[in-house]
Structure 1
């Protein structure tokens, strides 16, 4: 029993030793295996991500190529279609009719209805042709047709347009921008700013115009060279003539500045030589020159030297919210026109002055009534004055006050009512009060 006990003890010791040496080796093998498995899994995921990234890059490259091919095809399609694309064209204009009651030298009368169609034809973004006619009935019942303007606009740059032909004069604001009856807030033009006034109506020649941004503000400019004014009724006629009667060319223009979006302030000028007699030479094949008829006033200026005609002025317009406030001033003089007199020296210069101030307010924000919202009261005061010629002073000098109320059926259809007071400086002329109604339609 003692021998067996010792042998068992030995066996037990050997087993215990073996177990004590074998357990740590097994315990260390399990974490290493798991770490190796995780590394293998991560390596497999990285390979999959690389494969997907490569596939995505290939697809993106293919998409870029397809987009590039589509863009090239679109450009080719435009280039093929563009030469046969028709010109864009547009018809606009205005028309008006009215009636006027007067307590002065004029009779109560229906005023002549006018029709002013304007045509616009444009080729690409290169050239724009525009023209306007005025068709009206004169006091003798005959139909008059006048070419207001006919011009080609060459779109040189975003900030520059070259105009050639007969165009509305850039001097001042009224004639170029406000004379259409559906735009003009009053029934007629201010004194001195319509036909027969001081403001140039149109010009035949070349004009460069555009706008130049300076920071957040804007400058606009117009510079024109043309045939210029002529001697005629009222001393000088400032309407565009299709042929020059002297070698001198008139220079005119306007520069304007926008201190903020709703306010424009501008200055204008015109300088030219005025010939006392307008005579057009005929073509080389004509046996005799063709003399242009200038009314009977031309005979007064025959054999007299050319005069210096200079005009300048400024204007301002505020169109913020429901307000439309405008003012213009023009000053012109004609010097050295006529032969010097031994007793009186140089001939007396002629001078013209015209100005007006006007305010209109749309009542769209003072009431919920649709009727009141369409109303627009307007008030205007102005003066036209000539100095240096007694006959012209008696015929022309006046002060004019207008008050009116407009009703807008739509943005381009308006009924205007007005009361006009004309105060003439000539003693032999009676002052005139006129009640006016006008329906105007712009299209």
Structure 2
């Protein structure tokens, strides 16, 4: 049986000394290269965080003190039209290993104030959170992202990253502006990986970015259309989003290597954002109507949403967030993911800005996971603390 939070994101078995040596060598090489880039006039930015976690006994999440991530990013500007963005992150896994990842590598061309085309690896522009924030913890109010919107290697159920093309811009309309994002690229796959205990293929996995090419040769595409108000409604943005593409897992059968599970993922939804008058209101809704393309189970409906409300008070930002998912376990896209279990979570938090570049955060979480086919019900409470800064 699969428990709700028994998620091991790193299934690779490596010797710890060799891994640490490789990670440290990679870190030193990266810092050297970034320092050279800074001396050449390319702005260097970064984020880092460390924290503490305590959970009730029903949780298998790591407890105690932890090192979060060290995030570097560059924003080279080659002329008025050509620009880039590079983000490299070093982070600890749930087993204490150090992982290095090229999170974003974007090359862009600005045609006008209304249109920019990006190519490379970027954050998939659905909703608000996934592009409004990134891997640097200091810029977001909360310690944790909404669970279902987390990054792929953290258990997110949506492709947080994509390799492809992304067009984005704003167009004046009345007193406000229409915003648009349109993207096409490699859809993700569900990576099953070897079981750490038996080295056999696992029965469930995690989303994996197809960085080197699309495993099923079928692109994923989507859009995000919004309107930013001004005047008396300044700070309000309403938007709708959609995404569609085929997703398979690593399990194959037959002489031609046909995937055992292939799903046409079809997502629609909307978002509301209000950031003005010292208020922060963030809300997103996702509706899934996924079609089983490898079997005969038909189409399956699921949904997920969250709402977060915070108030800035002289350096303090208390906030409350509720999030909930109802994920159909007859849908292979969710049943094959370790984090594809339905849940509800309430978060009460506080962010204290020491200055513009350093923050202390505290969160109380109450998490409840549903009893579903192949999964057991569980509930637990958590206390989290984090110190995050940027430079």
Q: Place the TM-score, normalised by the shorter chain, in its bin.
A: 0.7 to 0.9
Are 1:258 and 2:228 matched, yes or no? yes
For 1:303 and 1:380, locate their aligned partners in 2 and report how far apart those are by CA, in whole Å.
Answer: 38
- Aligned position for 1:441: 389
Matches within 5 A, 1:138-287: 138-179=93-134, 180-195=136-151, 196-232=155-191, 237=207, 239=209, 241-260=211-230, 261-274=234-247, 276=248
Q: Secondary structure at the match of 1:89?
A: coil
For 1:181 and 1:298, locate their aligned partners in 2 and report how far apart those are by CA, in whole Å.
Answer: 38
Q: Secondary structure at the match of 2:132?
A: helix
Alpha-carbon offset, residue 385 of structure 1: 2.5
Alpha-carbon offset, residue 109 of structure 1: 2.1
* Residues 169, 175 of structure 1: 8 Å contact kept: yes
- 1:17-38 CA-to-partner distances (Å, cap 9, x unmatched) read xxxxxxxxxxxxxxxxxxxxxx
For 1:409 and 1:326, locate their aligned partners in 2 and report how far apart those are by CA, in whole Å.
Answer: 23
* Residues 267, 315 of structure 1: 8 Å contact kept: yes
- 1:108-162 CA-to-partner distances (Å, cap 9, x unmatched) read 2223320111111111202111111120122333220111110101111111111
- Aligned position for 1:66: none
Identify the structure with bigger relative contact order (alpha carbons < 8 Å, sequence gap 6+).
2
> As a proportion of its length, which structure holds more helix?
1
Alpha-carbon offset, residue 201 of structure 1: 0.6
- 1:166-219 CA-to-partner distances (Å, cap 9, x unmatched) read 111011111111243112211101121103323321111111111100132101
Alpha-carbon offset, residue 395 of structure 1: 6.0
- 1:384-405 CA-to-partner distances (Å, cap 9, x unmatched) read 2210339569962110000011
- 1:325-372 CA-to-partner distances (Å, cap 9, x unmatched) read 110111223313323xxxxxx224454422100011111xxxxxxxxx
For 1:329 and 1:112, locate their aligned partners in 2 and report how far apart those are by CA, in whole Å.
Answer: 32
* Residues 143, 363 of structure 2: 8 Å contact kept: yes
- Aligned position for 2:265: 309
Given the superposition, is the C-alpha separation of residues 248 and 303 from structure 1 closer, same or farther in structure 2, using an over 3 Å criterion? closer
Given the superposition, is the C-alpha separation of residues 388 and 416 from structure 1 closer, same or farther in structure 2, using an over 3 Å criterion? same
For 1:93 and 1:308, locate their aligned partners in 2 and report how far apart those are by CA, in whole Å.
Answer: 37
**Structure-1-length-normalised TM-score:** 0.68
- Aligned position for 2:320: 379
For 2:246 and 2:91, locate their aligned partners in 1 and report how far apart those are by CA, in whole Å.
Answer: 33
Alpha-carbon offset, residue 441 of structure 1: 0.7
* Residues 267, 288 of structure 2: 8 Å contact kept: yes
Are 1:130 and 2:130 matched, yes or no? no
Are 1:359 and 2:309 matched, yes or no? yes
- Aligned position for 1:60: none
- Aligned position for 1:94: 47
Q: Which runs of 5+ in 1 are unaligned?
A: 1-85, 278-293, 340-345, 364-372
For 1:100 and 1:415, locate their aligned partners in 2 and report how far apart those are by CA, in whole Å.
Answer: 14
**Structure-2-length-normalised TM-score:** 0.76
Are 1:418 and 2:344 matched, yes or no? no
**Aligned residues: CA RMSD:** 2.6
For 2:350 and 2:261, locate their aligned partners in 1 and report how far apart those are by CA, in whole Å.
Answer: 49
> As a proportion of its length, which structure holds more strand?
2
Aligned residues: 324
- Aligned position for 1:105: 59
Are 1:325 and 2:281 matched, yes or no? yes
Given the superposition, is the C-alpha separation of residues 361 and 347 from structure 1 closer, same or farther in structure 2, using an over 3 Å criterion? same
Q: Which moved more, 1:250-259 or 1:390-399?
A: 390-399
Q: Secondary structure at the match of 2:75?
A: strand
- Aligned position for 1:396: 341
Alpha-carbon offset, residue 306 of structure 1: 4.7
Rg comparison, structure with higher value: 1
For 1:347 and 1:236, locate their aligned partners in 2 and report how far apart those are by CA, in whole Å.
Answer: 22
Given the superposition, is the C-alpha separation of residues 424 and 303 from structure 1 closer, same or farther in structure 2, using an over 3 Å criterion? closer
Alpha-carbon offset, residue 89 of structure 1: 1.8
Q: Secondary structure at the match of 1:247?
A: coil
Alpha-carbon offset, residue 378 of structure 1: 0.8
